[in-house]
Amino acid sequence: MNHITDRTALEHIITNMIETVTESKEEIVRITESSATEYSAIQNELKELTDKIEFYIEESDRLDRLVKAAKAKLVQVSKKFHIHSEQEIREAYERANQMQLERFLVQKEEMAAQQRRNDLERRLLILEDTIERAEKLIGRVSVVLNFLRDDLQQEYSDMMKKQEMAIGVFEAAERERRHLAREMHDGPAQSLAHILIRADLIEKTFDKRGKDEAFAELHELKKLIRGALVDVRRLIYDLRPMSLDDLGFLPTLERYLHQTEEYTAIKTRLNYRGSRARLPEKLEINVFRLVQESVQNAIKHAKTAEIIVNVEQASDVIHIHVRDYGVGFEPSAIGEESFGIVGMRERIELVNGSITIDSEVGKGTVVRMSIPIP
C-alpha cells in the first residue's frame, strides 16, 4: 500500500509540474500574442499619426502665411486709418486674431501628435524587447516541458515498471480468484444444489410412485453427480495443470485441448511447428493461460463447431494463433467489461508480448499472440 501511495504521490507531483509548466508556457504565449497584437495596433496608429503630423505641418505653414498676410493688412489699415472705416479696421484686426488662433490650435494638435508619436515609438521598443524575450522564454520552457513529458516520464516509467509488474501479478491472481469463485458458483455449487433437490425428489417419488420411477430419477441423479465431478476435475486442472510441471507446455496443451473436446463436443485441432524445447518455467504457465483463455472465450461466446490452435516456436519467440469459425463480433465493441480479453492483454504485457484480435461478424475470430522467450 505504501508503494502504491508513493507512486501515486510521485505521479501527482510530475503531473502537477507538467500542468504548471504548461500553464506557464500558455501564459507566456498569450502575453506574446497580446504584445504582438498591441505592436501591430501601435504601428497602424503610428502610420495614422505620421499622416496627421504631415497634415498639421502643411496646415500650419498655410495658416502662417495667412497670419502674415493678415498682420500686413492690419498694419496697412492702421497706418491709413483715415481712409478706412472703423468696420474695416475691426475686421482686419479680427481676421489677424482668428488666423493666429487657428495656427495656435493646429500647432498644439501637431505637438500633441508628435508627443503621442514619441510615446508610441518608446512603447514599440519596449514591446519588441518583450516579444523577443518571450519567444526565447517559450523556447526554454518548451525544452523543460519536453524533458518533463518525455525524458523524465520515461525515466519514471522505467523506474516504476518492476513495481507495476508486481502489482499486475497480484491483480492477475485476484482476477483468477474471482474467476474461480464464479466457476465454483456456476458449476459445482449449482450442481450440488440440484443434486440435493433431486435427492429429495427421489425420496418423494419412491414413497408416492414406487421404485421404478424412483430408479429413473436416481439415474438422472447419477448424471448430475457425474457432471459435477467433471466440473470439479476441470476446476482442479484449471487451477494448476500438474502435467505442466512434469511434461511442459506442449503435452499439457495437447491434453487440455483433448479434454476440452470431450467436455464440450467442440472439435479442437493443434498444429505445432518449430522447436519442442521446454519454455522457461515462469513463461510456460503464462503462455498456457493465454491459450486457455482464448479457447475458453471461443467456447463461451463464439458458438463455433471447431477451434484451431497454431503454435510456432523459435529459439527467441513463440507465435500462437487461436482461430474459431463462430459468430464473430465487432472488434470496436471490446470494452472494459470484456474481462477475458482485458485479462489476456494485461497478462501478455507481463511477458512483454503482443496480441491482436481480428474478428468479423459471421466469419469467426482469430487471436494472434507473439511472446519473446528470454
Say whether 1 sits in a helix, a strand or coil.
coil
Going by the DSSP 8-state scheme, the letter that residue 241 receives in this structure is -
pLDDT at residue 1 is higher than 50: no
Residue whose grid cell is 513463461: 283
* pLDDT number for residue 126: 87
Three-class DSSP category at 205: helix
Helix (H, G, I), strand (E, B) or coil at 373: coil
Q: Kindly list the strands in the beta sheet with 267-274, ordered across the sheet, starting from the edge strand earlier in the chain.
A: 267-274, 306-313, 317-324, 364-372, 354-360
CATH of 2-167 given 3.40.50.300, 1.10.10.10, 1.10.287.1490, 3.40.50.720: 1.10.287.1490
For residue 324, give the DSSP letter. E
pTM: 0.46
Distance of CA 75 to the CA centre of its chain: 90
All cell numbers assigned to 93: 484686426
CA distance 110 to 96: 21
- Report angle CA 55, 58, 61 to the nearest 5 degrees: 145
352, with CB counted inside 10 A (0-12, 13-18, 19+), is exposed
Q: What percent of the chain stands above pLDDT 70?
A: 79
| Backbone phi, psi, residue 350, to 5° | -65, -25
Identify the bridge partners of residue 356 per DSSP, sorted by sequence position: 368
pLDDT digits (tens, 9 = 90+) for 227-269: 777 777 667 766 667 778 788 889 989 988 998 898 888 999 9
pLDDT tens by residue, 259-275:
889 888 899 999 999 98
| Domain extent listing, the chain | 2-167, 245-372
pLDDT tens-digit series, residues 125-157: 888 888 888 788 877 777 777 776 766 656 666
Q: What is the pLDDT of residues 310-361, one digit of tens each?
A: 999 999 999 999 999 999 888 776 655 455 677 788 888 888 999 999 998 8
Confidence of residue 366 (pLDDT cuts 50, 70, 90): very high
Q: 245-372: which CATH topology?
A: Heat Shock Protein 90 (3.30.565)
What is the rounded CA–CA span in Å between residue 285 and residue 249? 8
Predicted pLDDT of residue 272 = 94
Is residue 371's pLDDT more than 90?
Answer: yes
* pLDDT for res 335: 56
**Listed residue (335, 316, 322) closest to 269, CA to CA:** 322
Distance between CA atoms of residues 51 and 235, nearest Å: 94
Bridge-based pairing state of the strands 306-313 and 267-274: parallel
